[in-house]
Amino acid sequence: MSQPVLSIRNIESFYGPIMAIRGVSLDVHPGQIVSILGANGAGKTTLMKTISGVMDPEKGTISFDGQHIQGLEPHKIVQKGIVHIPEGREVFPLLTVDENLSLGAYTLTDKGQIDHDRDLVFSYFPILRDRRAQEAGTLSGGQQQMLAIGRGLMANPKIMLLDEPSLGLSPLLVQEIFDILKRLNDEQNMTMILVEQNATAALELAHHGYVMEIGRIVMDGTADVLMQSEDIRNFYLGVQEEGARENRRWKRKKTWR
């Protein structure tokens, strides 16, 4: 297989005295969609913040394109080609769709490149072209998520970190957005890390998955293998199908490897 484009080794990240990431290692190969699964509080968002430089790891290394990037400023990491689309579909509500997209290109100076990227975003999200003069705060939740992804694309990334893009959206909209992510992967060869609690949808899209629990990776494998895994089916995919009762069962189950 190819060399990994992103390679994380034994990182630890803290909030004050609390260790939220407890020695995580993972690899992402060029053109892959890698999904990070895990219950609420497992450390998925902290891991994304650590990759994008919003948080610095206390220990461990993060290599991207063969260079160590841990500890770099977030904008330097964007310049290297890593874009983080945070959870909660953050857009600037009082700015227009167009202005939000322009902000995504803040590390670029080539106007031709920026125009090209904007056209690319509009080709994947035609609704954003229709709404380009509208204030982002007046968009629907699904459209705001599309704008957040579109703004990330404007940085012309090599890899996108998507933190729970399905959160709070209807199943139909989740499908629509995931179909577009799949097209971006197929047609643009866009590499992605997809953080999800929606394991079924994520594993349908992903090539490889890692499962996190209390700051650690407790399982990893190809998406097919994870989908078939008895543990995942009972204690993870079950969460989606059977609701809150299962969710409680998942939380009680401490060791399930």
Using CB under 6 A as the criterion, which residues of the chain lie in contact with ligand ADP when the complex forms? 15, 18, 20, 38, 40-46
Question: Phi/psi of residue 165, each to 5°?
Answer: -65, -15
Nearer to ligand ADP, 46 or 143 (CB): 46
Q: Where are the beta strands (DSSP E) in the chain?
A: 6-15, 18-28, 33-37, 59-64, 67-68, 82-85, 159-163, 191-196, 208-213, 216-222
Nearer to Mg ion, 45 or 70 (CB): 45
- What number of CA atoms fall less than 13 Å from residue 244's CA on the CB side? 0
State in angstroms the smallest separation of the CB of 28 from ligand ADP: 18
* Amino acid, single-letter form, for residue 229: S
Number of C-beta neighbours around residue 1 at 10 A: 7
46 binds, among Mg ion, ligand ADP, none (CB under 5 to 8 A by kind): ligand ADP
Nearer to ligand ADP, 45 or 166 (CB): 45
The answer to whether residue 45 forms part of the interface with Mg ion (CB under 5 A) is yes
State in angstroms the smallest separation of the CB of 68 from Mg ion: 25
State in angstroms the smallest separation of the CB of 168 from ligand ADP: 14
Q: What is the CA radius of gyration of the chain?
A: 18
**What DSSP letter does each residue of 37-86 carry, written as one string?**
E--TTSSHHHHHHHHTTSS--SEEEEEETTEE-TT--HHHHHHHTEEEE-
1 binds, among Mg ion, ligand ADP, none (CB under 5 to 8 A by kind): none
d(CA 78, CA 84) in angstroms, rounded, equals 8
Q: Please count the residues of this chain forming the interface with Mg ion, following the rule CB under 5 A.
A: 2
Nearer to ligand ADP, 16 or 112 (CB): 16
State in angstroms the smallest separation of the CB of 44 from ligand ADP: 3
57 binds, among ligand ADP, Mg ion, none (CB under 5 to 8 A by kind): none
Nearer to Mg ion, 40 or 109 (CB): 40
Say which DSSP state 168 is in: T
Residues near Mg ion, by CB under 5 A: 44-45
